[in-house]
Structure 1
Amino acid sequence: MIQPLHRASRKEHRPAEKRTRHVFQGEFNVATTQGGGAWRRRRVRTPGLRPGADIVSDLEPCPKASAPATASQAADLRVRLDYLLGEHLILASKATDAALGGRNDEFAAYGDLLNQNGTDLGAMIGAAYGSDAQSRFNQIWSAHNGFFVDYTIGVAKKDQAMQDKAVADLSNTYVPQFSDFISGATGLPKDAVTGLTKEHVLQTKQIVDDQAKHDWPAAYTDVRKAYAHMQMIGDAVAPAIAKKNASKFPGDPTNKGVNLRVSLNQLLQEHLYLATAATGAALGGRSDEFQAAGKALNDNGNDIGQAIGSLYGTDAQAKFNQIWSAHNGFFVDYTTGVAKQDQGMQNAAVANLSNAYVPQFADFISGATGLPKDAVTGLTKEHVLTTKAVVDAQGAKDFRASSQKDRAAAQHMQMIGDPLAAAIVQKLPQRFS
C-alpha cells in the first residue's frame, strides 16, 4: 500500500522570498508579458522530433524592434539539443530505476525510448554534418548507453568485476571517442569536451549507485544535478555547430531572450518528468521514492517561481502560486483516486482541473501576457489531458503506453515554453538587451 498522498493547501499564500513547498508545484510557474504588437502564426521545424514533423504555435508574438529574437534556426537548434540531452538523462534514470527495481516491462519500455532519443540526437547531427557523421555519432552514443546498461546490471548482481569493466569502457572508450567526434565537428577544445563528458559519466553512475541503495533523496538530487549538466553540454555544442554551419543555422543562439527560452523549456520538461516519476512511484507503492520525487518537483517549482519573481515581482509570483497550488492538489486527488480505484474521486479531480484550474490559469496567463485566451486555454487543457493519460497508463501497469505518453506529455511542454518566453521578452525587452 502507498502512504496517503498529501496536498498543499489551496488557499496558501507565502511571501515570495520563502521557498514554497507544494506537491507537484512548478508546471507553468511563468507569468509572462503584457502584450503589445501583432501576433503571427509561426511554424517551427524541430530536427530530431520526427522526420518531417513541424510544431505549430499560434501564440508566437511578432517581436518589437528592441526585443531580441527568441526564435531563429540557430536558437531552435540550441533549444532542441538541450531538450534532447536533458531528456536522455531523465529517460536513462527512469530505465535504471526500473531495472534495479526488477520492473522489467517498465525497464524495456524506457530503454526503447532512450534509443529513440538517441536516434533523434543523431538526426540533429546528420542535419548539420551529413549521414556519415550521423552514423558515427549513433555508433558512439549507442555504445555509451550499452555501457551504462552493463554497469546497472553489474550493480544489480553485485558483480564488481562487471561494474569495473563498464566504468573502464565508459572512461577509456566512450569519453575519448565522443570528445574526438565533438571536438572535430565543432572546433571546441578537446580538453573542455572531455571534462564535460567525464562529468556526465560520473553523475550518471552516481544516480545508479543511489538508486541501488534506495537512497531516494540523494538519487533525485543527483538526477536534477545531472539534468542541469546536460544543458551545459548542449549550451557549448549547439552554438559551435551553428557557427560552423552558419548557412544552415542563421541567427543568434545565445542572446538573453534565447537563454530565457532554453531555461523555461528545460524547467518545464523537467517538471513533467519529475511529476510522472512521482506518480509512478506512488502508484507502485514506493512511498519513500514518491516523497523524494515530490521534493525534487517542489524544488523545480521553486526555481521557476524565482524566475517569475525576478521578472514580475512578488505579487505575480504569489498569485501564480495560489493557482498552481490548487492545481497540484487536484492532481494529488486524481492520483489517489486511481490508486484507490475510486472513480468518484477521479471524476471530482478531473472536474476541478477542468473547471477551476484551466480557466483560472488561462485568465492569469492571458491577462499577464496578452496571449490569446482561447489558445492558452487549449494548451492548458492539453497539458492536463496528457498528464492524466500518463497516470492512467501507470495505474493500469501498461508501461509501454505510459512511457510513450510520458514522452509525449514532456514534448508538449515546449509548446507552452516557447510562446511564454517570446512574450516575456517582448514585454520586457530592456531586461534582455
Structure 2
Amino acid sequence: MQLRGIGHHGRRFAILCFAVIVALPAGPARSTPPLPVPAVQAGHVHVAASRSAPESALRLQALLGQHSVLAAEFMRGRIRGDENFAQSANAALGRNTDAMAQLLGDVLGAATARRFAELWAQHVVELFTYARGLADQDEKVRDEARQELIEYEEDLAAFFVKASHGRLTTRAANGAMRMHVDHLLAQADAYAAHHYPAADRIYRESYQHTYELGGTIAAAILTGKDAKVLRTPIWRLRSQLGKLLAEHVVLVEDVTRAAITNGPDFSAAGQALNGNTGDLASAVDSLFGAKAAKDFQALWAHHVDQVVAYAAATAAQDSGRREQARRRLRELEVRLAAFLEEATGKRLSSTRLADALLAHDQLLLRHAEAFAAKQYDTALEMALETYEHMSEMAHLLADAFGATVAARLPVGGAATGYGAMAGVVKRR
C-alpha cells in the first residue's frame, strides 16, 4: 500500500496533535504505566477506584463505538440468512448493552441505568426487525420498524438530555440519535443490495459517529473539573488513538471473516481497512513526521496482510501457510515494537511492546480460527477481547506520544486549551 495524503480524519488529527504540541509541558520522561484493566462486575456498583470519571468517559466512547459495529454485524448476519452468527452477535450486543448500563449506573444511579437498558434493548430489537424486513423483502415490516425506531430515537434523546440536566440540548440529542440509526439502516440497505463499498463506507461513518457521540454524552453528563479534563490535549489524544486502534480491530476482523468465507464483500472490506491504516499513518505523520509515517504504514500494512493470510490458510486447512503467516507476524511484532520504542525516545520498552503486539495478534488469530470453525460465540468473544485490548493500548501509546512531543518543547512554552464540544453542549 502507498502512503496516502492526510484525508478528512487525518486533518482533524493533525489539529489535535498541534494542540498537544502547544499545550503539553516539557518534563522528564515518566515510567511506562501498566496497561489498565477494565473493572467489570455484575450489578450496579460505584465507580471503581481504578477508573476515574474521565476514564469512564473514554470507556463510554469505546462501548458506543462497539455497539454500532455489533449492531451492523447482527443486521448483516440476518440479511445473509446466517442465523447462527446473527444469534451470537445478538448475545454480544446484549453484553455491550449491559456494560453501558452498568457504566451509566456508576455515574447516574441504578434506576437511570435500568431505564437506559430498557430503551436501548428496544432500539436493538427494531434494528433486528428492520434487517428481517430486508432479508424477507418485506417493505411493510421495514417501514414499521423504521417508524418504531424514530420513536425510540426521541425517547433515547430525551433520556440523555435529562441525564445531562439540559447541558446536552434536545436538538443536538435528537440529531445525534437520528444520525446513528440512519447510518445503521443505510449500511444494511446497501449490504442487502450488494453495494458493498457503500455499505462499508457507511459502516465506518457509523462507528466514527457513534464513538464521538460517546464523548459528547460524557462531556454533558460530567461536570466541573472532570468535564474540563476531557477537553485537555492528552485526553483528546487518548480518545482519538482509541478510536483509530479499536476501528483497526473491527475492520481487520471483518476482512478475515470475508477471507474465510470467500465473501463477495472481501474487496470492499479491504478498502475500508486500508482507509483506517491511512488514518493511523496520518496520525503518526502529525506526531513524528512523514518519514516515520511511511515506515509505520509499511509495517502496519504487512501486519494486516499476514493476519488475513492466516485466516485464508485456516479456511483452506493449509497448516504450512498458517505457520508461515504466524512466523512473519512475530517478526513484524518485533519490528513494530522497535519502531515505537525509537519514535517515543525509549519511553516505551520494545520488549514490552512486542509482548503486547503478540497478544493482539494471538487474539486476532484465535478469532479467525473460531470463525472458520463456525464457533461464533467464541469468535465474537475474541473480538470483544481484542477491542478491549486495543483501547488499553491506546492509553499506553497516547501517554508516551504526548510525553515525547512535550520533551521537544522549551520549558514554559505557550499553552492553549482544546475543545470540540462547542455548539453541542451548552456552556456551564
- Is 1:183 the counterpart of 2:161 in the alignment? yes
Q: 1:50, CA displacement in angstroms?
A: 7.0
Q: 1:283 aligns with which of 237, 260, 265?
A: 260
Find the residue that maps to 2:230 and give its secondary structure: coil
Corresponding residue for residue 308 of structure 1: 284
Corresponding residue for residue 422 of structure 2: none
Task: Return 5+ residue gaps in structure 2 as ranges.
Answer: 8-16, 417-428
Tell me whether 82-91 or 154-163 shows the greater mean CA deviation: 154-163
- Is 1:122 the counterpart of 2:101 in the alignment? yes
Change in Cα spacing, 1:44 to 1:395, as seen in structure 2 (3 Å) is closer
- Is 1:335 the counterpart of 2:275 in the alignment? no
- Is 1:201 the counterpart of 2:181 in the alignment? yes
Task: Calculate the aligned-residue CA RMSD, in Å.
Answer: 2.7
Corresponding residue for residue 30 of structure 2: 38
Find the residue that maps to 2:191 and give its secondary structure: helix
Letter aligned with residue 311 of structure 2: T
The percentage of aligned residue pairs carrying the same residue is 25
In the alignment of these two chains, the number of paired residues is 389
- Is 1:296 the counterpart of 2:296 in the alignment? no
Corresponding residue for residue 262 of structure 1: 239
Letter aligned with residue 182 of structure 1: F
Q: 1:231, CA displacement in angstroms?
A: 2.6
Q: Deviations over 1:363-382 (max 9, x none)?
A: 11112212122211110110
- Is 1:223 the counterpart of 2:203 in the alignment? yes
CA distance in 2, matches of 1:212, 1:16: 31
Q: 1:239, CA displacement in angstroms?
A: 1.1
Corresponding residue for residue 193 of structure 2: 213
Q: Deviations over 1:115-170 (max 9, x none)?
A: 11011111111011111101111111011001111111111111111111111111
Superposition map of 1:45-124 within 5 A: 46=38, 73-124=52-103
Find the residue that maps to 1:428 and give its secondary structure: helix
Q: 1:351, CA displacement in angstroms?
A: 1.3
CA distance in 1, matches of 2:110, 2:301: 48
CA distance in 2, matches of 1:291, 1:55: 45
Corresponding residue for residue 60 of structure 1: none
CA distance in 1, matches of 2:37, 2:49: 6
- If the length of structure 1 is used for normalisation, what is the TM-score? 0.84
The answer (yes or no) to whether the contact 1:151–1:163 under 8 Å persists in 2 is yes
The answer (yes or no) to whether the contact 2:310–2:322 under 8 Å persists in 1 is yes
Q: 1:209, CA displacement in angstroms?
A: 0.7
CA distance in 2, matches of 1:387, 1:381: 10
Letter aligned with residue 257 of structure 1: I
Q: 2:339 aligns with which of 364, 374, 386?
A: 364
The answer (yes or no) to whether the contact 1:16–1:317 under 8 Å persists in 2 is no
- Is 1:349 the counterpart of 2:325 in the alignment? yes
Q: Deviations over 1:2-41 (max 9, x none)?
A: xxxxxx6xxxxx566489xxxxxxxxxx9x9999423154
Corresponding residue for residue 412 of structure 1: 389
Task: Return 5+ residue gaps in structure 1 as ranges.
Answer: 1-7, 9-13, 20-29, 57-71
Change in Cα spacing, 1:45 to 1:403, as seen in structure 2 (3 Å) is closer
Corresponding residue for residue 273 of structure 1: 250
Find the residue that maps to 1:39 and give its secondary structure: coil
Find the residue that maps to 1:252 and give its secondary structure: helix
Q: 1:398, CA displacement in angstroms?
A: 1.1
CA distance in 2, matches of 1:87, 1:120: 11
Q: 1:202, CA displacement in angstroms?
A: 1.2
Change in Cα spacing, 1:347 to 1:300, as seen in structure 2 (3 Å) is same
Corresponding residue for residue 238 of structure 1: 218
Q: Deviations over 1:308-357 (max 9, x none)?
A: 11111111112112322332332233122112211111111111112x11
Change in Cα spacing, 1:106 to 1:15, as seen in structure 2 (3 Å) is closer
Corresponding residue for residue 147 of structure 1: 126
Whose relative contact order is higher, 1 or 2, with alpha carbons under 8 Å and at least 6 apart?
Answer: 1
Change in Cα spacing, 1:205 to 1:326, as seen in structure 2 (3 Å) is closer
CA distance in 1, matches of 2:300, 2:213: 31
Superposition map of 1:372-411 within 5 A: 372-411=349-388
- Is 1:138 the counterpart of 2:117 in the alignment? yes
The answer (yes or no) to whether the contact 2:234–2:398 under 8 Å persists in 1 is yes
CA distance in 2, matches of 1:432, 1:339: 54
Q: Deviations over 1:33-57 (max 9, x none)?
A: 999423154575746687789899x
CA distance in 2, matches of 1:291, 1:222: 15
CA distance in 1, matches of 2:212, 2:391: 19
Q: Deviations over 1:292-320 (max 9, x none)?
A: 11100000111111111111111111211
The answer (yes or no) to whether the contact 1:48–1:122 under 8 Å persists in 2 is no
Tell me whether 318-327 or 82-91 shows the greater mean CA deviation: 318-327
Q: 1:409, CA displacement in angstroms?
A: 1.1
Superposition map of 1:146-165 within 5 A: 146-165=125-144
The answer (yes or no) to whether the contact 2:35–2:396 under 8 Å persists in 1 is no
- Is 1:317 the counterpart of 2:257 in the alignment? no
The answer (yes or no) to whether the contact 1:47–1:127 under 8 Å persists in 2 is no
Tell me whether 38-47 or 366-375 shows the greater mean CA deviation: 38-47
CA distance in 1, matches of 2:375, 2:54: 37
Corresponding residue for residue 423 of structure 2: none
CA distance in 1, matches of 2:138, 2:208: 30
Find the residue that maps to 1:389 and give its secondary structure: helix
Letter aligned with residue 351 of structure 2: D
